[in-house]
Every structure is written in C-alpha cells, then in structure tokens.
C-alpha cells in the first residue's frame, strides 16, 4: 500500500500484514507540553489562583465580590466560596479548587490558607526546577519537611480542657475562626450559638458530632402547648388504584356519590389521627381545600409540604416515628414537644414554625436573620466554619496557639529549605493584609523566635500590643493545621509529577488569564 505525502510520521503505522493504522488520533491538531514547559504551565496556573486568595487571608483580609452569569452577587472572603464562584478552565486551577473543597469537607476551616500555602510551595518549586533539581526529588523533600513540621506541631500542641459546663475554651476557639468574617462585630454571639449547637448533639464518649442533627436556616393556629405530633409521609387524599383506570361520571347522582366517597375518606383519615390523641399533624405532602376544611373543623392543626430532611429532624427531636400509612398510626408513634408556635417577622411577614421543649434535644436549628440575602449567606458560611472548629475540638482537643509560622528544624536539603520559605508566605500575607511591612515583620518574628524560643509568636494583626497568640487568644486546632500541611504537600506532589500535557489546540486549555 502506498502512503501519500500528507501522512505524518508517528501518526500512521503498519502491522505485520502491511495494513496501516493510526497510533494517535488527530495528533496534528493537538498541542503538547512536556518537561519543564509543562511544570511551568502548572505552576503559573496554581500561582494565579493562590494570588487571588492571598489578600483574603487573616482577620484583616479583604472580601471579594463575585458576579454570577445570572447577575447574582456574592460578597465573601471564604476561600471555598470564592473558588467555587470563579470560572477556571485550566486543569491545575481546578485542582486548586478541589484542594479548598477537601480542606472544607475534612476540617471546615483554613480553606484560604491551604491554597495560599500550596501556591507558595509551587512557587518555591519553580525556583528549584530552574536550579536543575528533579521534580521527584522536590516532592520527596516536601513530604519529609511536612512530616517534620507535623511532628513539631504535635510537640508544641497544648491540651484543651473543656466540658459542657466549661464552654469558654470552645467559645474562644470559635471566635478565632470568626474573626476574619463579615460578622466579626458579633463574633462572640455567633461563637456561643455554634458551641451550644455542637454541645447539644455531641457524643463525648465516641468523640463525635453528627452534623446531620444541626440545621442552619436563613429565613395553623399560632400556638400549640403540650403538642402530640403525628408525623406523616402519606397525603390527605382519597386512595387511587395503582393500575390505569378511567372513571365515567354521567349524572348528577354519580357526581354526588363520588363527592360523598371522598368526604367519607377524608373524615376517616382525620378520625384515625384524632383517635391516637394527636393535636398536631406534620405532613410531607399536601392536602386540598376540603381536607384543610375538615382539619380545621375537627380542631386538628396541620402543617403540609415539610421536606424530607426536616421530617427526619422533627422525628429525632420529638421522639416520634415517621408513619407512611394512616392505618399504622398509633399513640406510641406520636412525637412530643412542650410548645409549637408560629413566628412571623420582617416586612414581608415571613412565617416559620418553632418546635420547643422537645423530648430529645439532640437536634438543633440555628436561625439567622440579616438585612439582605448576601449577609445571611455569608453568616451561614461563617457559622458553618465555627461549627466545624468546635466539632474538631470535640474529636481532638489539641490546639496550637500560632496561626502563622511553622518552624521546621534540620533544613539540610534544598526542598526542605524551600518548604520553610513557603511557610513564611503565610506570615508575609498576614502582615501585608494588615498594613504592616511584610519583610520587616517577618524579620522581627524570626529574630524573636531565635532569641525567645517561644513557638506561640505570630503577627499582631489586630494591633493589641503583643505578638503572643496565647495572650491574644488566637487559637487553631491541631487537626486544621495538620490537614493544611498534608493536603497542600500532596497536591504539590501530584502536580510536580505531571510532565506531559496533550490538549486540542482549539480549546486553548493552557492560556490562563491573570488577575
């Protein structure tokens, strides 16, 4: 077989019978980066994402205004939220977004710091690559340095003593994570709410907190005392055949019979509920006007269209059972609460149902109100961070007072020294965001670390006159700091081990816009 001149080498090959076949499809239309060029592309993308978050780090960090394609506005300095709202195309930039999500899912706090640290590690790796150090050696050095740093953190960590009666240590820790949020003027109030919510559902024997029992919400007769609640997942409507059917109504008598049948079925359902002693019905589905009229006539208040998660939380809180059919409802399956009342608020007179004095308090709802939806959404994110920090302390009560500087002793290798310099980027960012001279602040801290041997020294962002984080009550959980180091190093290792990129040229995957 003759191959024309348009055939490209390495694009066409022949088997043992002389038959041609394509090795790489559309190779002439693909763009390829290999070796140091691929590493440079990855590092540039990661640095661009990290630089976007750098100014949001710390208590004096700035907020970002994100505008969605639909025109919705989001004002936040939460790292995960910023990255989720960013429109990134580069694969490595998407990995940075996943890094922030992993930190938020695992710990709940430190989503900005972990991205800034990863960007600094990759920036230092860029310098080492220019010196001719292999990417694999850099990744191994980072892993060794991270192991030393984590051992150092564990050696300086303090044990945090707290209990249900002694909540102040937990409140102080929650206040630290709320200090950089938009709600920092009321950060003690929000910290107390978060601590009370976690302690209500915490299992100290297992050292665990079930977040499914905590609901953060952003927005009949008005009052029922000594409520006995029937929790139903079956609708108030007449039964329907499960197979296809047709109903022919030809006369007025037929219509009357049908209406009477439905009315009797509605009365039967209401009587079955009343017979159990229930004085309140919470139903997952709806009911029509006739059912609503009968419920009011029988003095049986009801709430309809309650979502599945809310139904489960109500059942847990009141000690009731979720009933799928009216025939299965009994007095033993009723939930109980001391008071159920309806609240209305705001200029739009929005309404919500409050269930209080429950038999089982291991289900909590945090209700947040604000002047606009942006404030409410940011407050919900802030409360979530505080809840995660308190949960982490319940699981592991060790803390570190320093939030900015992690010393790594024994820096013999280039990569380990680069790791230490990358950790200093957190100090530089905090000082810069606070309006201080970054180099001057870093030099002063390093000098004091060397002379005072005090691992609790950090940046005095709030200008309180002391750099001792213990005196300022700036507290961070050991699990959060450890997760930041481990996740950032693992991401850097994964990125540094990629040395070949293939992409279609028309997609332009590897031109990353700066800023």
Name the β-bridge partners of 158: 399
Count of helix runs (H) and strand runs (E) in the chain: 15, 19
Domain final residue, candidates 366, 383, 413: 366
Nearest-angstrom CA–CA distance, 471 and 468: 6
- Crossing angle of helices 91-106 and 36-54, in 10° steps, is 50
Asked, for residue 435, whether it belongs to a domain, the answer is yes
Asked, for residue 203, whether it belongs to a domain, the answer is no
Distances (CA, A) of 376 to 163, 214, 216, 471, 490: 30, 17, 11, 32, 35
- The count of structural domains within the chain is 2
Tell me the per-residue pLDDT of 40-92, one tens digit each, with 9 for 90 and over.
888 888 888 888 888 888 778 788 888 887 777 888 878 888 888 887 777 88
CB neighbours of 292 closer than 8 A, spacing ≥ 6?
Answer: 302
Question: Is residue 352 a contact partner of residue 219, using CB atoms and an 8 Å limit?
Answer: yes
Catalytic residue list contains 111: yes
Asked, for residue 450, whether it belongs to a domain, the answer is yes
Nearest-angstrom CA–CA distance, 81 and 97: 10
Same domain, 152 and 70: yes
Q: What pLDDT score was predicted for residue 309?
A: 78
Catalytic residue list contains 112: yes
Same domain, 349 and 417: no
Same domain, 149 and 264: no
Same domain, 223 and 360: yes
Asked, for residue 382, whether it belongs to a domain, the answer is no
Of the residues 78, 104, 109, 460, only one is catalytic, namely 78
Q: Give the end-to-end CA distance of the chain in Å, rounded to a whole number.
A: 54
Same domain, 404 and 346: no
Asked, for residue 21, whether it belongs to a domain, the answer is no
Same domain, 429 and 474: yes
Please say if the pLDDT value at position 3 is more than 50. Answer: no
Please say if the pLDDT value at position 511 is more than 50. Answer: no
**To which H or E segment does residue 358 belong?**
strand 350-358
Higher-confidence residue of 200 and 246: namely 200
Q: What pLDDT score was predicted for residue 137?
A: 85
Asked, for residue 25, whether it belongs to a domain, the answer is no
Nearest-angstrom CA–CA distance, 416 and 419: 5
Other CB atoms within a 10 A radius of the CB of residue 273 amount to: 24
Distances (CA, A) of 256 to 251, 268, 434: 9, 18, 78
Ranking 306-315, 368-377, 491-500 by mean pLDDT, the lowest is 368-377
Same domain, 222 and 362: yes
Domain that holds residue 296: 218-366
CATH code of the domain in which 39 resides: 1.10.560.10
Nearest-angstrom CA–CA distance, 397 and 473: 16
Catalytic residue list contains 365: no
Same domain, 347 and 410: no
Domain final residue, candidates 317, 348, 366: 366
Of the residues 74, 81, 112, 318, only one is catalytic, namely 112
Of the residues 55, 74, 111, 177, only one is catalytic, namely 111
Same domain, 354 and 224: yes
Of the residues 104, 385, 405, 432, only one is catalytic, namely 385
Tell me the per-residue pLDDT of 267-324, one tens digit each, with 9 for 90 and over.
788 888 888 888 888 888 877 666 777 777 777 787 777 877 788 888 888 888 888 8
């Amino acid at each position: 077989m003759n191959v024309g001149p348009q055939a490209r080498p390495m694009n066409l090959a022949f088997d043992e019978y002389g038959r041609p076949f394509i090795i790489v499809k559309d190779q002439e239309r693909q763009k390829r980066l290999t070796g140091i060029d691929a590493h440079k592309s990855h590092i540039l993308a990661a640095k661009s994402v990290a630089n976007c978050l750098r100014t949001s780090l710390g208590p004096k960090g700035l907020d970002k205004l994100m505008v969605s394609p639909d025109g919705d506005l989001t004002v936040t300095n939460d790292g995960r939220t910023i990255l989720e709202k960013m429109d990134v195309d580069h694969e490595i930039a998407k990995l940075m977004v996943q890094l922030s999500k992993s930190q938020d899912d695992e710990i709940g706090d430190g989503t900005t710091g972990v991205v800034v640290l990863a960007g600094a590690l990759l920036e230092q790796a860029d310098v080492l690559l220019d010196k001719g150090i292999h990417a694999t050696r850099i990744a191994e050095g980072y892993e060794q340095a991270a192991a030393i740093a984590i051992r150092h953190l564990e050696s300086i960590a303090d044990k945090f003593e707290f209990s249900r009666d002694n909540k102040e240590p937990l409140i102080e820790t929650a206040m630290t994570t709320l200090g950089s949020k938009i709600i920092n003027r009321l950060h003690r109030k929000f910290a107390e709410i978060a601590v009370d919510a976690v302690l209500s559902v915490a299992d100290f024997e297992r050292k665990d907190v079930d977040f499914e029992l905590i609901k953060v919400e952003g927005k009949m007769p008005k009052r029922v005392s000594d409520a006995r609640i029937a929790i139903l997942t079956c609708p108030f409507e007449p039964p329907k055949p499960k197979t296809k059917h047709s109903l022919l109504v030809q006369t007025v008598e037929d219509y009357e019979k049908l209406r009477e049948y439905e009315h009797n079925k509605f009365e039967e359902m209401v009587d079955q509920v009343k017979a159990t002693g229930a004085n309140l019905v919470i139903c997952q589905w709806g009911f029509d006007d006739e059912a609503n009229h009968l419920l009011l006539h029988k003095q049986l208040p009801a709430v309809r269209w309650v979502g599945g998660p809310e139904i489960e939380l109500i059942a847990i809180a009141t000690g009731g059972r979720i009933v799928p059919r009216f025939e299965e409802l009994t007095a033993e399956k009723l939930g109980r609460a001391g008071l159920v009342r309806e609240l209305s608020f705001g200029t739009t007179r929005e309404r919500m149902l409050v269930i209080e004095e429950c038999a089982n308090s291991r289900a909590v709802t945090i209700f947040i109100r604000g002047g606009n939806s942006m404030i409410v959404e940011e407050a919900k994110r802030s409360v979530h961070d505080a809840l995660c920090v308190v949960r982490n302390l319940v699981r592991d009560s060790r803390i570190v007072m320093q939030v900015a500087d992690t010393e790594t002793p024994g820096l013999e290798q280039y990569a380990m020294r680069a790791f230490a310099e990358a950790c200093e980027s957190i100090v530089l960012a905090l000082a810069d965001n606070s309006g201080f001279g970054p180099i001057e602040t870093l030099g002063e801290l390093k000098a004091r670390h060397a002379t005072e041997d005090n691992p609790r020294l950090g940046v005095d962002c709030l200008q309180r006159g002391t750099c001792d984080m213990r005196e300022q009550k700036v507290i961070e959980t050991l699990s959060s700091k450890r997760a930041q180091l481990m996740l950032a190093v693992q991401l850097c290792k994964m990125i540094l081990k990629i040395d070949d990129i293939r992409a279609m040229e028309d997609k332009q995957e590897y031109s990353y816009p700066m800023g």
